Chains A and B, each alone.
Chain A
Amino acid sequence: MMSPYDVPYMERTRLYYEAQGYTIPYQWAHHDYTPFSKLTKPLPQLRVGLVTTAMPDTEQGRAERKLYSTPSRPVPDSMFTLGLSWHDTVTHTRDVGSFLPIEALLAIESEGGIGSLAPHFQSVPTAYSQRQTIEEDAPVILSHMKKDEVDVAILVPL
């Protein structure tokens, strides 16, 4: 049996799209500096926001990949993931709890481990354009989170 190793997703992606006839490899953003903010209060006093790359399983969510702000309650039974980059030959996304921790965070909220779960969670498309993400999508998500008075955020890409 082969030893576990970290899958080289950047290299695999480059080769995969090269085989599809794309001649210019995708360039992921790279930074020498990473921002860092400290928590200002203990977790039991903080409101937690969530961000996912999965789209809402609604007519609009299935039709158009874009930003969505969706109520966290009731916990969605399903999310739309068709066409997104995940390993569909070995697993599935039928269990929302395996990629969007609403149920777990509600349990932790009821136990007092966090102050609360934000009333909405955010869906963000994995856009090819970094400019789109940085200049348009991220500021909108920030504004949704400020409106929901989010203190800290958990981001879970598929």
Chain B
Amino acid sequence: MSLVARHLEDSGIPTIVVGSALDIIEHVGVPRYLHTDFPLGNPLGTPFDREMQRQHVDMALDLLNEACQANTVCRSPFSWQGDTGWRDDYSRVTDANRAALAAAGEARRAKQIVMKKTNPKQQIPMP
């Protein structure tokens, strides 16, 4: 997504990315970024919390309007109100899931081989 933002910006369309993966966005580099510190999946805020979602869109528009240089990053003041352990939980490899992950990898590679044969144009999703 960051690469798309860069392409649009380079073509004269100002952009803002709203997301929750700060390290990835900053590594790639985008013109403007609103970071929302939420579990991946709800970058605009808590599901069904229309007020918070609206405030994030307002913040995005403000940043779009006010940023005056590339790589401008702003952090939302809101935080996830659910389980506090979510940061440790995401894609964590432990002894409990190591064998299952190895098996899933084997299955995924087998599926990718079939995908390449049956539909070579189908894009392989990134990890």
Which A residues are within 8 Å of any B CB, using their own CB? 1-2, 4-13, 15-22, 26, 28-31, 33-39, 43, 49, 51, 53, 64-66, 81, 83-95, 97-101, 103-105, 107-108, 113-114, 124-130, 132-134, 137-139, 141-142, 145, 150-158
Beta-carbon contact of B3 and A95 below 8 Å? no
Beta-carbon contact of B70 and A154 below 8 Å? no
Query: Contact size class for B?
Result: 35 or more
Q: Which chain A residue has the least Cβ–Cβ distance from B25?
A: A157
Beta-carbon contact of A91 and B41 below 8 Å? yes
Q: Which chain A residue has the least Cβ–Cβ distance from B54?
A: A104
Please indicate the chain B residues that have their CB under 8 angstroms from the CB of A10 in the complex.
23-24, 27
Please indicate the chain A residues that have their CB under 8 angstroms from the CB of B97 in the complex.
19
Q: Which chain A residue has the least Cβ–Cβ distance from B119?
A: A64
Residue in A86, A107, A139, A154 whose CB lies within 8 Å of B41: A86
In the complex, how many residue pairs between chain A and chain B have their CB atoms under 8 Å apart? 272
Please indicate the chain B residues that have their CB under 8 angstroms from the CB of A6 in the complex.
22-23, 37
Is chain A's binding surface mostly helix, strand, loop or mixed?
Answer: loop
Please indicate the chain A residues that have their CB under 8 angstroms from the CB of B53 in the complex.
97-98, 101, 104
Which B residues are within 8 Å of any A CB, using their own CB? 1-19, 21-24, 27-31, 37-50, 53-54, 56-58, 60-61, 64-65, 68-71, 79, 82-84, 86-93, 97-98, 101-102, 104-106, 108-109, 119, 121-127
Please indicate the chain B residues that have their CB under 8 angstroms from the CB of A87 in the complex.
39-41, 86, 89-90
Beta-carbon contact of B127 and A26 below 8 Å? yes
